Amino acid sequence: MRRMNRRGGKMPNCKRASESFERKEMKYRLSAGQLAALLTLVREHLKPTEFADSTITSVYYDTPTFELIERSLEKPLYKEKLRLRVYGDSFEASMRAFVELKKKYKGIVYKRRMAMSLQAALAYLSGTSFQDACAQHPLQDSEDAPSLANARSMQIAREVDFFMQRHASLAPSMLIACERLSFADEASGLRITFDARIRALPFPLGPAACAKYDAACLARAASTLRAMGVTQVGQSVIGPGEAIMEVKCQAGLPFWLVDALSELGAYQQSFSKYGTAYLNMLAQQRVACERRQSLPNALHEPIRVIWPQAVLERTQQLPVQERMLHHA
C-alpha cells in the first residue's frame, strides 16, 4: 500500500473539534489475493475519502491488570475502550490528536472523539481537566480553538471523565500503527477501510505510568515501530500481505459487495487489533520464559523483560496454542 500523508499534512476529519458516530461495523481478515480483488471492486463503486491513504497510530489505555482488554476478549454484550489517536507516524506536542471513547453494544458501535493538541491530550488523560488541558496546550490552528469548549465537546469530555473514574490507574498499554486506505459513499453512508502492516508495541504499565509519557516518549515508540523487522520489541499483528477490511454502515450491505465477498470466500469475523496484539504479547513472553527454563543453569542468561509485571503473572495461566489459534 502506498505511503502518503505521513508528516506535516492535514488529517482526516480535521474540520470538527468533536464527533459522534453510531453505526454497525463488520470486519474481514483478507489474504493478499482477496485484498487485491476487493480493492479493485471498491474503487469502482466508492470514492476515496479525503487523505484516504495514511498511517494511523493509536495508543490504547488500560489498567495495570489489563482489565479492559481482558473483558473485551470475553466477548461481553457491552464493552468499551479508550485510546489516543493521531494520523501519521510522528508525535509532536503541538500536532492534532484525538481522544476517542469507543463503545459496542449488541453489535452497534458508538464512538465519541475530541480533537486537541497531543500535549493537551496527554495532560488530559493524565488527570488534568479537559478545559485546563486545552487552555494550557491549545491547538495551533486558531480557528478551531473556540470550538473545543462547545457543548458537544464538553459532553464527550464528561463521558470520558466518567470512564476514567470507573477504571482506576489508566495508563498507555499498547501502541498500534497501521497503513489505511479509506473509501466512502456519502449518499448511503457506507464506508470501507483496509488496514495493512498492522504492528504493535507494548508499554510498561504501572499505577503512575501515565504521567511518565510525553510526546517525546511516544515519538521514540513510533520510531521503534517504523523499524519493525529489525527489532524484537515490536510485533506484527497480522501476516505478510494480509489486511483487515472494515465495513461501516447504518443499513445493509450493497449487493455488489455481498456477491464479491461470497465469491472470494471472505467471511465476517471478530478481530481486535489491541486484543490480538495483547494475546501475541502474552504468547511471546511465555515462549521466552519456557526457553529460558529449558537451558542448563550454567547457560542461563538474563532476558530483557519489556513486559509489564501483570503480563508476567498472566503468562503462567495462558493456554498459548488454543488462544492464538482462536484469534489467528
Q: Say which DSSP state 34 is in.
A: H
Q: Say which DSSP state 236 is in.
A: E
pLDDT at 34: 97
pLDDT at 85: 93
All cell numbers assigned to 19: 464527533
Give all strands (DSSP E) within the chain, no chain letters: 18-30, 47-48, 54-62, 78-87, 96-105, 108-117, 171-185, 190-202, 235-236, 243-249
All cell numbers assigned to 114: 475530541
Q: For residues 113 and 285, what is the distance between their CA atoms, to the nearest angstrom?
A: 33
One-letter identity of residue 171: A
Residue pair 247/46 in contact by the 8 Å Cβ criterion: no
> Splitting the chain (328 residues) into consecutive groups of 10 residues, what average pLDDT does each group show?
41 54 87 97 92 88 91 91 88 89 88 91 91 89 56 90 91 90 91 93 62 69 59 68 92 91 95 92 77 57 45 48 37
- DSSP structure string for 176-217: EEEEEEEEEETTTTEEEEEEEEEEEEEPP--TTGGGG--HHH
Give the 3-state secondary structure of residue 146: helix
Q: For residues 31 and 280, what is the distance between their CA atoms, to the nearest angstrom?
A: 20
One-letter identity of residue 21: F
pLDDT at 303: 40
Q: Kindly report the pTM of this predicted structure.
A: 0.80
pLDDT at 297: 53
